[in-house]
Amino acid sequence: MEPNGILVYIEFSENFEIRPVSLELLSRAAFLQTKIWNQRVMACVIGPRINYENIVQKLSEYGADEIVIVSDNRLDKYNHNFHPEIFTQIAKKYPPRIILTGATPEGKEIASYTATKLETGLTADCTNLDIGKENLLLSTRPTFGGQLTADILCKTFPQMATVQEHVFTAQKRAKSPNVIFNWINIDNIEKRIELIKTIKKHSGNRDVASSDIVISGGLGACKDNGFTLIYELAQKLKAAVAGSREAFEKGYITKAQQIGQTGKTIAPKLYIAVGISGALQHLTGIKNSGKIIAINKDKNAPIFEHADIGIAGDLFEILPAIIKDFDTEYKEEQNEQ
């Protein structure tokens, strides 16, 4: 069968809501579709036996022409054995030209497993997707330590790419999709991995990817009580705390809090960079932020070129002043009531 279409792997949260990255990829697929003739946008849903009406509705709103559903009650949560194999079988049954998944832990496992099984290439962590010559997928990603960006045309089919959350915007383009239910005998799937235990990490931090306000600390904050001040201000602003790779390497934040090329791409309404110089690899992760405030003692720091508001000064003086101001204003408000 001639490969046709763009297949998007749909990821779900614990309460079985579609993760934003999947809608963003679906929207991008619908955009790519406008550039290549006669290709359909397919969404692959793997989940338990439930009513899929709302899910189908949502996927159709973001550009799916065809929704392939594989359901079994043992698929209520992501399973390292079942999901990658089922997705691969769907990709074999409806051979697409292009496959897109999120550059999330789940999406990366699905993509690498499928690419190996289908003996095709995979471009990971793309920062843009377009259509290039010969109607091939043109994947863009940073290379040479982020000093350059490479445009990659993979000539084997399907062409595969993973993309982080918030790289693209989810845009509505309503369609009336075909819904196809598929049955796959999951008893026949080889169980290569046994999940022994799941331990949830409680960091006490808000979710970096979905918070409206993110305060990020860099190497400048990695001393004395720098991060204590950042956490204190974050609590007052109801913000999530994140940081640069330097802050991660110094042990002040977890990997899940690192922003940038090898960390997370985020799109908060407000990003506050504290003691961060503004390296290209860091900026990649915040380019879709609403407003950026930078606090840095070096008035020539590159971050100021990207900030809407720049405060040149010592964070150990500026943060306590903001926190104190916040407390005074709060007390005045309380007294007025």
Ligand X SMILES: Cc1cc2nc3c(=O)[nH]c(=O)nc-3n(C[C@H](O)[C@H](O)[C@H](O)COP(=O)(O)OP(=O)(O)OC[C@H]3O[C@@H](n4cnc5c(N)ncnc54)[C@H](O)[C@@H]3O)c2cc1C
**Per-residue contact track with ligand X, 88 to 127, x per CB under 6 A?**
----------------------------------------
Site membership for ligand X, residue 39 (CB under 6 A)? no
C-beta of 110 vs 247, nearer to ligand X: 247
The separation between the first and the last C-alpha atoms of the chain, rounded to the nearest angstrom, is 71
Instruction: Give dist(CA 14, CA 106) in Å, integer.
Output: 13
Binds ligand X by CB under 6 A, chosen from 17, 207, 308, 314: 314
C-beta of 35 vs 223, nearer to ligand X: 223
With contacts defined by CB under 6 A, name the span among 45-53, 96-104, 175-183, 259-267 that binds ligand X: 259-267
Chain residues 282-301 in contact with ligand X, contact rule CB under 6 A: 282, 295-298, 301
C-beta of 317 vs 329, nearer to ligand X: 317
Residue 195: both structure tokens together: 């999940």
Binds ligand X by CB under 6 A, chosen from 105, 145, 204, 251: 145
Site membership for ligand X, residue 58 (CB under 6 A)? no
Closest CA to 177 of 40, 46, 52: 40
Report in angstroms how near the CB of residue 237 gets to ligand X at its nearest.
18
Chain residues 191-250 in contact with ligand X, contact rule CB under 6 A: 218-220, 244-247
Instruction: Give dist(CA 173, CA 206) in Å, integer.
Output: 31
Report in angstroms how near the CB of residue 91 gets to ligand X at its nearest.
30
Instruction: Give dist(CA 170, CA 58) in Å, integer.
Output: 11
C-beta of 60 vs 265, nearer to ligand X: 265
Binds ligand X by CB under 6 A, chosen from 29, 124, 152, 276: 276
Report in angstroms how near the CB of residue 266 gets to ligand X at its nearest.
11
Q: How many chain residues touch ligand X (CB under 6 A)?
A: 29
Site membership for ligand X, residue 279 (CB under 6 A)? yes
Report in angstroms how near the CB of residue 144 gets to ligand X at its nearest.
8
Taking the CA of residue 333 as centre, how many other CA atoms within 13 Å lie in the half-sphere pointing to its CB? 6
Whether 103 and 164 have beta carbons less than 8 Å apart is answered as yes
Binding residues for ligand X, rule: CB under 6 A, are: 145-146, 218-220, 244-247, 258-263, 275-277, 279, 281-282, 295-298, 301, 314-316
